[in-house]
Each structure stands twice: as C-alpha cells, then as structure tokens.
A and B are shown apart, each in its own frame.
Chain A
Amino acid sequence: MPAVQETVERVRRIDVDQYRYGFETEIESEKAPKGLSEDTVRFISAKKDEPAWMLEWRLEAFRRWLTMTEPTWARVNYPKIDYQDIYYYAAPKPKKALTSIDEIDPEILKTYEKLGIPLREVAILEGVEPAPGGEQTPSRKIAVDAVFDSVSVATTFKAELKKAGVIFMPISEAIREHPELVQKYLGSVVPTSDNYFATLNSAVFSDGSFVYVPPGVRCPMELSTYFRINERNTGQFERTLIIADKGSYVSYLEGCTAPQRDENQLHAAVVELVALDDAEIKYSTVQNWYPGNSEGKGGIYNFVTKRGDCRGKNSKISWTQVETGSAITWKYPSCILRGDNSSGEFYSIAISNGFQQVDSGTKMIHLGKNTSSRIISKGIAAGKSQNTYRGLVSAHRKATGARNYTACDSLLIGDKCGAHTVPYVEAKNSSATFEHEATTSKISEDVLFYCVQRGLSQEEAVGLVVNGFVKDVLQQLPMEFAVEAQKLISISLDGSVG
C-alpha cells in the first residue's frame, strides 16, 4: 500500500504543533470597520456595488438576526463570541479590476503555492492554455474560483465553461450579471430566517461561488473553490449557490485552509444547492482549517449551513465531506427530497484530534414519493477531542415509499477522546423503510500488535487501520482529492498514539 507509506513519511516530516498551513500573507487589505451594525451591512453592499434589492435582502436578514439567539444544543463548548469584535469584511486591495490571472498579486499566488493542496490549481492558474495535445484528455480539468479572505480573486476556465453555457463566477458578480437567477434561487433553500448563523451570513456574506448549469448540460470539468482565511480577526462568510437545471450534472469541490492564529476565527458559511428534474449535483468538501494548537488555543469556529434541495423529480444531491480541521465544527449538510424519486447521499469522514470538537451530521427530509437517502458517516476521535454525529431522517405523511439507509461508525484512538451518536428518526407514514446501523470501535492494542508483529511501525499500523475504516467514503471523492484526503487524514492523526 504505497499511499499509506507515503502518508507516513509525510507525517514524520511534520511536527505535531506545526500546522502546515500556518503563515500569513502580507498584502494590503481593505477592511470594514470592526463590529456589526446596519452600517456594516451597507458598507459591504456598497463595496460590492450591489443593487438595491440585495441591500434590502441583507438588511432584512440583519434585523431578523438581532432578534435571534445563538443555538446551544450542539455538543460543543466555547467562550462566548463577541460579534462586535470581529471584522466582517476584508478584501485584498486590488491595484485595479482583475481581468486575467497575470494580474493577481504575486504574494497571493505564493500563498496558494505554500498551501500545497491547491498546487495543482496554481499550475492551472499559471497555465491557462491547455498543454499541446491536451485537448483530447480534458477529463480531469478543474476550474477554480479562489476566495481569498472575502473576495474571489481568480476564476479560471471561464471561457470553456461559457461555451458549455455553464455560469461559474463569484456570487458578487452573479448578483450584478445574473440578477434574475440570483433573485429566484438565493435564500430559496436556506431562507434568511433559517438559523442564527445562516441569518448572520445572509446579512454580511462577502463572497462565494455561483454556479448555474443549463438544462441538459453535463458540466465539462470539476468545479473547485479554495477558501482561505488570512486577515486577522475577520470572519469568513461565504455564500455559495449552485443550480443544476433540468437534466444537468455538476461536480463541485470545496477546500479550505486558514493560517495559524492565536485568536479563534469565526466562519459561518451558507451553501445552497438546487437540483431540478433529473439533475444531479455532487458536492465534495475537504476542510483542514487550523484546529488550534496542542493546548487547545486558537483555531477556527466553523458554523456552517449547507443544504441541498432536490426540487425536481428524479434529481439527486450527494454530499461528501472530509473534515479534519477547525477547533469547533457545527455542520449538517442536508437534503430536502422534494421531487418524486429523488435521492440524497451523505458521505462523511470527520476526524478530531487535540482539543477539537466536532458536532456534525446530516438531515434527510423525505417529502416526495419513493425518495431514497443514504448516510455513511465515519467519525474518528483521537487526543482529547469530542466527536458527535447528529443526524435526522424524516419522512413526511405524503412521502410514501421513502427509504433510508444509515451507517454510522466511530473509531476511538486513545482513551481521552469521546465519540457520540445522536440519530433522530421520524416516519409519518407506514410505508417508509429506515435502516440504521451504528458501531463504535477502538484501535485495540491487539490490532496494533498484530500489525507491528508483521513488520509495520505503530504509525504505519494506525494509518492502515484508519484508511481501511474510511475507505467507503474516500471512494466517493474525485480521484485526486481522495489521495490528498488520505494524506490529510494521517497528518491530522499524527501523534495520536504512543
């Protein structure tokens, strides 16, 4: 298993406290004044050159937010967040409007290089034209929308996508260029009143990605966004909206990294997916935000609302996530199975080490007839972390023939961590079939000794067992990301034994 060995070698090179992506980029940035008020909302909207309807939408959300209280039901503990002590907008100061890759601040490009993970994308960023003879093998092309702090700085492959009729651009641009689509779909899956963090996002979101795939079009490449939090004390509030029109298909990958910081940084994103009749959306996330140091100081607070709406018949939405970072994760990518015969999937690997706290899972809401959903969740807890799976499967009165299969597995490494499973199941009609399986296991001394007796080191043994444990989910990721995710998993678990 060469991948495992490679993983182990990489792990050895990395110091446990040395978060690989911990560095700052020195670029001038333009910030909104600290704190949150109607003025902040107006400032952001003005910066973005937004139409009046958008500002109204934001303000309505902001007023709503003022009446709401922060949820406390999740199994996470953190000091109270002072929402007035956060910068809500930070943009790298562009010298002028960007029209091509060459104009991106070289410092920013360097940052992407350092990130390691998006190196492939940097290569793409640098060589926009396809290599000679590259025309016939376009299968693994990836288009990138890079979000650097709050603004999308580069969108590649725009032209080729345009030829296919696919719209892929920063949402701030889409608001100006495709207001009819944005107005129709924005907030239609996650309404502005949805929950505390989603409402906050609706008021202050700064940028994110917008995708529209027209009817019958199979998006010619994987679409990808890298989020990165750079500015000190800035919250990152992306807003992503993906619409797959009738009979279309799109696969989207989101990756995240944040520089190392002592302060905790707030991240509250919203992702909305809409799949119309016979459409399919595959959304994959690899998240490795700074988890805090070995004493539990610092790290990202990640409060994210992700929801897909299978609005049309025979539509399909699939979430795949590999979560290894953040101090706190509060995240439940969900599917509303509204169309008849629609299906939803959730494949998740959530790894926690050190003092990380993860409360994550999914919701599968069956509304249409003969809808089906599948949940495969793999939680791995190491160090002093707490890892909770929280999930809801519900079938509406009219959702006859609804089917769900849930498998929830937890793996414990060491004896100071915790794994918890909190499944909610509601069937309001008698024809629904719900299956739930859950296991909790430990990498036992016996298993480790068995592997070591065969010649593997302790680290190699843990890597092998963990990779076996998550295999079902890794297989769901696009190929090249699966390899990276495998490496990331071992890096995250470094120092968890011995």
Chain B
Amino acid sequence: MALLEVRDLHVGIEDCEILRGLDLTVNAGEVHAIMGPNGSGKSTLSHVISGKPGYQVSAGQILFKGEDLLAMEANERAANGVFLAFQYPVEISGVTTMNFLRAALNAQRKARAQKEFSTPDFIKRVREVAKSLNIPQGMLKRGLNVGFSGGEKKRNEILQMALLEPSLCILDEIDSGLDIDALRIVAGGINALRSPERAMIVITHYRRLLDYIVPDVVHVMSKGQVRKSGGKELALELEACGYAQFEDAA
C-alpha cells in the first residue's frame, strides 16, 4: 500500500479550478520532488493534503495510509503524520518556540492516545536537534519566529519536523530565501530525517536544492496536473529546457 495516493484530484478556490485531475503516488521511504512554473498548483496541492481551509475539492480522493485523508480535520491529519514545512512560517509573539513545540507535540500525542513527554526529556531532545541544525538555545526562548531571519525560520521548520516525527513531510519551497550556507544546513537536517518509514515531497523551483536533497522521483507540474515523472535526471533536463515544453502537453 502506498503511503500517499492522490487520485484524479480536482480542487478550486471560489470559481477558479487550480488542480485539474492530479494523480500522485508516494511510497514510504521515497523522496519526491515536485517542480513546475508559478501558478501550476504546487502550493495548492500541499495545502489540500495538509487541510488548509478555503479550498473546494470537487472530485477525486486522497488516501493516506489507506484512509480517506479529506475526511479528517487538519489537526487529525497532523496527528496521523502529515507535516507541512511552510513557505512562509508565521510569527507568534509571547509563545516561545519551546512552548509551541511542547503544545504541538503533546496535542499530537494525546490524539494518538500516547503519554505526554516529560519536561526534562522533551527539553533534552529539543536541544539535541537544535544543535544539529545550528539553532542557538536563545532562539528557543524567543517568541516563535518573531524577529527571525528567513534562514532561521526555515531551520525552525526543520526543527519542528524532526521533533514531531511525521511519516509524510511536505516541504513547500524550503529553499526560498536561503543563502548557500543555510541551504546546506537545512538540507542536512532534512537528509538526516530520511528513513524507510518516512516519505517526503519537496516542492521547489530550483534544481540546486535537489543537489543537496537527492530525490527518488521528480514530477513536473503544470496547469494543475502532473505532466511528467522521472528520475533525478529530469530536474537537469528541466533546467536546460525550461517548463515551456510541458505547458502544451495537454
């Protein structure tokens, strides 16, 4: 059974159809890259999988671990292992990263009928992961993402991903706004989380990211559909020829 199975998905906002019959199968242990021009529906796909309100699904289905994902609330999906690393992480003042993480982790554990983490264990774990991502301890005590640089915000997303241990990680333009050093750190953090039980969907415009996070499968999206799928060499082809060749494929 595939971890994630998207079948003939049609999604719109108000009267505008964005996804027009999208199919996608992702197995545990795989890393999929989704590339495509602006407006092709990449972010919409990540939002619909993670349960952002405001989208209308007019046809199709999404199965996650064999269950109907669209029937679940967004927080249930999170507890079941869906994680979205946001393109634009929000700022929440007065709520420290540490407290936010604890609230999120314990909410998920509660939903899964697991025991809450003890505070010392939790703090120890956060510190370890933070260190590996080059996140200073002081940042954990500041308001979530408040005053963080673009690179710090993205590292914070990976920190959360590492602690919440999801089975499906969707990374929406995790490389946007990162300099080369930050990109290396973030990619290192993501690679460290690759495992046979976990799948990742990496959404990006640029091949560069895929030099660091080598995908098993590359998909090209255009006009709300997957137009072509292939191995990592497809990314190189895209860089050479651009997206234009896929625009008219339908």
| Interface positions of A (Cβ within 8 A of B) | 1-2, 4-5, 444-447, 449-457, 460, 464-465, 467-472
Select from chain A the residue with minimum beta-carbon distance to B91: A447
Contact A455 B104 (CB under 8 A): yes
Stretch at the interface among B57-65, B74-82, B174-182: B74-82
- Measured between beta carbons, the chain A residues less than 8 angstroms from B143 are 468
- Would you mind naming 23 contact pairs between A and B with Cβ atoms under 8 Å apart? A2-B106, A445-B54, A447-B92, A449-B53, A449-B74, A450-B86, A451-B92, A452-B73, A453-B51, A453-B74, A453-B78, A453-B83, A454-B78, A454-B108, A454-B164, A455-B107, A457-B107, A464-B95, A464-B100, A465-B95, A467-B94, A468-B95, A470-B94
- Measured between beta carbons, the chain B residues less than 8 angstroms from A460 are 103, 107
Kindly list the 8 A-B residue pairs having the minimum CB-CB distance in the complex, ordered from nearest. A468-B94, A468-B95, A455-B108, A454-B104, A455-B78, A471-B94, A455-B107, A1-B103
A468 to B100 alpha-carbon distance, docked (Å): 10
Chain A nearest Cβ from B120, distance in angstroms: 14
Chain A nearest Cβ from B100, distance in angstroms: 7
Indicate if B84 sits at the interface (CB-CB under 8 A).
Answer: yes
Contact of B164 among A455, A464, A465, A471 (CB under 8 A): A455
Chain B nearest Cβ from A472, distance in angstroms: 7
Select from chain B the residue with minimum beta-carbon distance to A450: B90
Contact B94 A457 (CB under 8 A): no
- Measured between beta carbons, the chain A residues less than 8 angstroms from B106 are 2, 5
Contact of B94 among A449, A452, A472 (CB under 8 A): A472
- Measured between beta carbons, the chain A residues less than 8 angstroms from B53 are 445, 449
- Measured between beta carbons, the chain A residues less than 8 angstroms from B108 are 454-455
Band of interface residues on B: 20 to 34
Indicate if B111 sits at the interface (CB-CB under 8 A).
Answer: yes
Contact A4 B103 (CB under 8 A): yes
Contact B74 A446 (CB under 8 A): no
- Measured between beta carbons, the chain B residues less than 8 angstroms from A5 are 103, 106-107, 110
A454 to B106 alpha-carbon distance, docked (Å): 10
A445 to B88 alpha-carbon distance, docked (Å): 13
Chain A nearest Cβ from B107, distance in angstroms: 4
Indicate if B20 sits at the interface (CB-CB under 8 A).
Answer: no
Contact B103 A456 (CB under 8 A): yes
Most buried by A among B53, B74, B103: B103
Which residues of chain B from 100 to 141 have any CB-CB distance to chain A below 8 Å in the complex?
100, 102-108, 110-111
Contact B103 A453 (CB under 8 A): no
Indicate if B27 sits at the interface (CB-CB under 8 A).
Answer: no
- Measured between beta carbons, the chain B residues less than 8 angstroms from A445 are 53-54
Contact A465 B107 (CB under 8 A): no
Contact B93 A456 (CB under 8 A): no
- Measured between beta carbons, the chain A residues less than 8 angstroms from B102 are 1
Select from chain B the residue with minimum beta-carbon distance to A463: B103
Chain A nearest Cβ from B23, distance in angstroms: 24
Interface of A is mostly: helix
> Known contacts A445-B53, A464-B95, A467-B94: does B75 contact A452 (CB below 8 Å)?
yes
A453 to B89 alpha-carbon distance, docked (Å): 12
Select from chain A the residue with minimum beta-carbon distance to B109: A455
Contact A467 B95 (CB under 8 A): yes
Contact of A465 among B51, B92, B160 (CB under 8 A): B92
Contact A453 B90 (CB under 8 A): no
Select from chain B the residue with minimum beta-carbon distance to A447: B90
Indicate if B52 sits at the interface (CB-CB under 8 A).
Answer: yes
- Measured between beta carbons, the chain A residues less than 8 angstroms from B90 are 444, 446-447, 450
Most buried by A among B86, B100, B107, B111: B107
A472 to B143 alpha-carbon distance, docked (Å): 12
Contact B107 A456 (CB under 8 A): yes
Indicate if B99 sits at the interface (CB-CB under 8 A).
Answer: yes
A437 to B99 alpha-carbon distance, docked (Å): 27
Chain B nearest Cβ from A462, distance in angstroms: 12
Select from chain A the residue with minimum beta-carbon distance to B99: A1
Select from chain A the residue with minimum beta-carbon distance to B102: A1
- Measured between beta carbons, the chain A residues less than 8 angstroms from B105 are 455
Contact B89 A450 (CB under 8 A): yes
Indicate if B167 sits at the interface (CB-CB under 8 A).
Answer: no
A444 to B106 alpha-carbon distance, docked (Å): 23
Contact A455 B111 (CB under 8 A): yes
Chain A nearest Cβ from B90, distance in angstroms: 5
- Measured between beta carbons, the chain A residues less than 8 angstroms from B222 are none
Chain A nearest Cβ from B54, distance in angstroms: 8
Select from chain A the residue with minimum beta-carbon distance to B76: A455
- Measured between beta carbons, the chain B residues less than 8 angstroms from A454 are 78, 100, 104, 107-108, 160, 164
Chain B nearest Cβ from A99, distance in angstroms: 48
Contact A452 B103 (CB under 8 A): no
A351 to B103 alpha-carbon distance, docked (Å): 23
Residue interface bits B41-62, CB-to-A below 8 A is 1, else 0? 0000000001111100000000
- Measured between beta carbons, the chain B residues less than 8 angstroms from A467 are 94-95
Most buried by A among B88, B100, B102, B105: B100
Chain A nearest Cβ from B48, distance in angstroms: 12
A465 to B108 alpha-carbon distance, docked (Å): 18
- Measured between beta carbons, the chain A residues less than 8 angstroms from B74 are 449, 452-453
Contact A464 B93 (CB under 8 A): no
Chain B nearest Cβ from A410, distance in angstroms: 13
Chain B nearest Cβ from A483, distance in angstroms: 15
A471 to B94 alpha-carbon distance, docked (Å): 6
Select from chain B the residue with minimum beta-carbon distance to A409: B93
> Known contacts A447-B90, A460-B103: does B50 contact A453 (CB below 8 Å)?
yes
Contact A455 B95 (CB under 8 A): no
- Measured between beta carbons, the chain A residues less than 8 angstroms from B92 are 447, 451, 464-465, 468
Select from chain B the residue with minimum beta-carbon distance to A472: B94
Contact B84 A453 (CB under 8 A): yes
A165 to B71 alpha-carbon distance, docked (Å): 67
Chain A nearest Cβ from B226, distance in angstroms: 24
- Measured between beta carbons, the chain B residues less than 8 angstroms from A453 are 50-52, 74-75, 78, 83-84, 86
A464 to B143 alpha-carbon distance, docked (Å): 12
